[in-house]
Amino acid sequence: MIKAASRTHNFTYAIRNIVGEAKKLEAQGKKITYLNIGDPVPYGFQPPPHLIEAVNKAIKDGMNGYSPSVGILAAREAVARESCSRGVNITAEDVIITSGASEAADIVLGSMLEIGDEVLVPTPGYPLYTAILAKLGAKEVPYLLDPNNNWEPSIEAIQASITEKTRAIVIINPNNPTGAVYSRENLLKILQIAEQAGLVVLADEVYWRMTYGEPAPPIASLVNDSVPVITFESLSKIYLAPGWRVGWMKLSNAHLMKELIVAIRKMADARLCSACPPQYAVAAGLDGDHSYLADVMQKFKERRDITYNRINAIDGMNCTLPNGAFYLMAQVERLHGATDEQFILSLLKETGILFVHGSGFGTKAEDGYFRIVYLPEPYILHQVYDQVAEFVKHWPSYVTATV
Ligand SMILES: Cc1ncc(COP(=O)(O)O)c(C=O)c1O
63: domain range? 49-287
Whether residue 115 sits in one domain with residue 260:
yes
Domain count, the chain: 2
Could you tell me if the CB of 69 is within 6 A of ligand 1? no
Domain boundary among the residues 287, 303, 324 is at 287
Q: Is the CB of 177 under 6 A from ligand 1?
A: no
Give me ligand 1 centre to Cα 20, in Å: 21
1 occurs within a structural domain: no
Within a domain: residue 283? Answer: yes
Same domain as 19, residue 72: no
CATH code at position 106: 3.40.640.10
Report pLDDT digits (tens) over 90-141. Answer: 999 999 999 999 999 999 999 999 999 999 999 999 989 999 999 999 999 9
Binding site membership of 247 for ligand 1 (Cβ less than 6 Å): yes
The DSSP 8-state label assigned to residue 257 in this structure reads -
Pocket test for ligand 1, best of 176, 207, 282, 328 (most atoms within 8 A of CB): 176
Q: Are residues 198 and 127 part of one domain?
A: yes
Three-state secondary structure of 372-388: EECCCCHHHHHHHHHHH
Closest by CA to 79, choosing from 197, 235, 221, is 235
Alpha carbons 370 and 222: distance in angstroms, whole number: 32
Cβ(126) – ligand 1 distance below 6 Å: yes
Rounded to the nearest angstrom, the distance between the alpha carbon of 204 and the centre of ligand 1 is 8
The chain-wide mean pLDDT, for the chain, equals: 95
CA distances (Å), 273 to each of 68, 217, 335, in order? 6, 29, 48
Of 270, 287, 304, at which residue does a domain stop? 287
Cα 106 to ligand 1 centre (Å): 12
Q: Is the CB of 176 under 6 A from ligand 1?
A: yes
Using CA atoms, how far apart are residues 304 and 328, in angstroms rounded to an integer? 8
Q: In what order do the strands lie in the sheet with 139-146?
A: 95-98, 247-252, 229-234, 200-204, 166-172, 118-123, 139-146, 152-153
Asked if residue 323 and residue 180 are part of one domain, the reply reads no
Q: Ligand 1 centre from 368 Cα, in Å?
A: 24
Q: Is residue 198 part of a domain?
A: yes
Reading the chain (403 residues) residue by residue, the pLDDT tens digits are 999 888 887 776 767 678 888 999 999 999 999 999 899 999 999 999 999 999 999 999 999 999 999 999 999 999 999 999 999 999 999 999 999 999 999 999 999 999 999 999 999 999 899 999 999 999 999 999 999 999 999 999 999 999 999 999 999 999 999 999 999 999 999 999 999 999 999 999 999 999 999 887 899 999 989 999 999 999 999 999 999 999 999 999 999 999 999 999 999 999 999 999 999 999 999 999 999 999 999 999 999 999 999 999 999 999 999 999 999 999 999 999 999 999 999 999 999 999 999 999 999 999 999 999 999 999 999 999 999 999 999 998 888 765 5
CA of 370 to the centre of ligand 1 (A): 18
Q: Is the CB of 38 under 6 A from ligand 1?
A: yes
